[in-house]
Amino acid sequence: MTATIHSSAIVDDGATLGEGTCVWHWVHISAGARIGARCSFGQNVFVAGDVLIGDNVKVQNNVSIYDAVTLEDDVFCGPSMVFTNVNNPRSHVSRKHEYRRTIVKKGATIGANATIVCGHTIGEYAFIGAGAVVTRDVEAYALMVGTPAKRIGWMCQCGERLDSTLGEHACAACHSRYQISGNSCTPV
């Protein structure tokens, strides 16, 4: 099996796509982009050349993944969410040498219309709510909402909200266990 590429999509020579990846309508993947297996890119997605994407990543419609962004395995990018790569852009000042790396760790979800300000790491299985604006690093399993995004709880790997009180808790949906203490949530 190879990648599936819609006839309206543009995949530049020099881009690497893994087995079973699907590239849908009006997508542009730039030369140099490295994309893993079983990924899906919805319509009108742009992927720049200095982008690394792991396996089983889902990118919904109207998302641009600019240079200096890394998405690890199993990341979900909701419709029209936004990545940036420069903190202080100006049309008349070239700042390509100032790109700040953004890393989205394994299993994280970014909701529709969320904005990820560059230079930050989103932890494993973190959940960024729709419309949130992330302006700092995000802890693993954190549930983040608002502008600027604030942690309001913790999420299970299965995507269900956990009891946020201190101590050990089981997910009501899948029964996975987590230890919640201060500013961290870890699987037990």
How many whole angstroms separate alpha carbon 113 and alpha carbon 10?
A: 24
In whole angstroms, how far apart are CA 95 and each of 24, 28, 105, 117?
A: 31, 23, 26, 15
> In the chain, what percentage of residues exceed pLDDT 90?
98
pLDDT tens-place string over residues 70-126: 999 999 999 999 999 999 999 999 999 999 999 999 999 999 999 999 999 999 999
**pLDDT value at position 182?**
84
Say if strands 127-128 and 109-110 run parallel, antiparallel, or are unpaired: parallel
**pLDDT value at position 107?**
98
> In the chain, what percentage of residues exceed pLDDT 70?
99
Backbone torsion region of residue 167, taken as left when φ is above 0, otherwise alpha when ψ lies between -120 and 50, otherwise beta: left
This prediction's pTM:
0.97
| Cβ proximity of 158 and 175 under 8 Å | no
pLDDT tens-place string over residues 18-45: 999 999 999 999 999 999 999 999 999 9
Which three-class secondary structure state does DSSP give residue 2?
coil
Question: Does position 1 have pLDDT exceeding 80, yes or no?
Answer: no
> Quick one: average pLDDT of 144-173?
96
Position 14 confidence tier, pLDDT thresholds 50, 70, 90 = very high
Question: Does position 164 have pLDDT exceeding 90, yes or no?
Answer: no
**pLDDT value at position 162?**
96
How many whole angstroms separate alpha carbon 134 and alpha carbon 128?
A: 8
